Structure 1
Amino acid sequence: MKLNRAIKIRLYPNQAQEKMLNKTFGCCRFIYNKMLEERIKVYEELKGDNQALYDHRYKTEK
């Protein structure tokens, strides 16, 4: 049986750290939304062609 555990912590960043965290989370949110927008667009274009949907993937670095 697998047991999941969680720990809650609270951060108290200074102003410089808070600014950096806000920039980082803003960038992450922007990238996520752009990729979601592209994926939705591709899905609408290739809705009937399951193989083309499967073949459409993002590039990965090796």
Structure 2
Amino acid sequence: EVKGRILNATIRRNPFGRYFVSLLVETEVQELPKTQSYIWMDVGLQDFAILSDGTIYKNSKFFRSLEEKLAKAQRVLSKKMKGSSRWNKQRVKVTRIHEYMTNARKDYLDKISTEIIKNHDVI
């Protein structure tokens, strides 16, 4: 159920062939409670992010396993004859892995950013 007044609706197709509806809704936004906490963040290669209070967000090893799975699927695809039905099936598998990786990465970043924003006023 949509809470608020709908201002605009946009239907779009993502690169993976799925359709989505985006709604622009006018609602009242409740401010988060003030925590009086200030923090700085260092984004690195070994660890995803390190906060000034000592909190460490690791780079997920889950993405490495997905990258290996993608590399294998792409190697299999490259050996198929372009335009054949098996090539098309493998292309769909590669596309699904790409979509899964995109969604997993977005979910990880959204969870981390939400946690940081809820616990600190200034970053």
TM-score w.r.t. length of structure 1: 0.56
- Which residue pairs with 2:102 in the alignment? 32
* Bigger CA radius of gyration: 2
Gaps in structure 1 of 5+ consecutive residues:
1-11, 51-62
- Which residue pairs with 1:16 in the alignment? 86
Give me the identity figure in percent.
Answer: 13
The structure where strand makes up a greater share of residues is: 2
TM-score w.r.t. length of structure 2: 0.30
The alignment yields a C-alpha RMSD, in angstroms, of 1.5
Number of equivalenced pairs: 39
Kindly state the Cα deviation for residue 13 of structure 1 after the two structures are TM-superposed.
1.6
- Give runs of ≥4 in structure 1 deviating > 4 Å: none
**Residue type of the alignment partner of 1:32:** T
Gaps in structure 2 of 5+ consecutive residues:
1-81
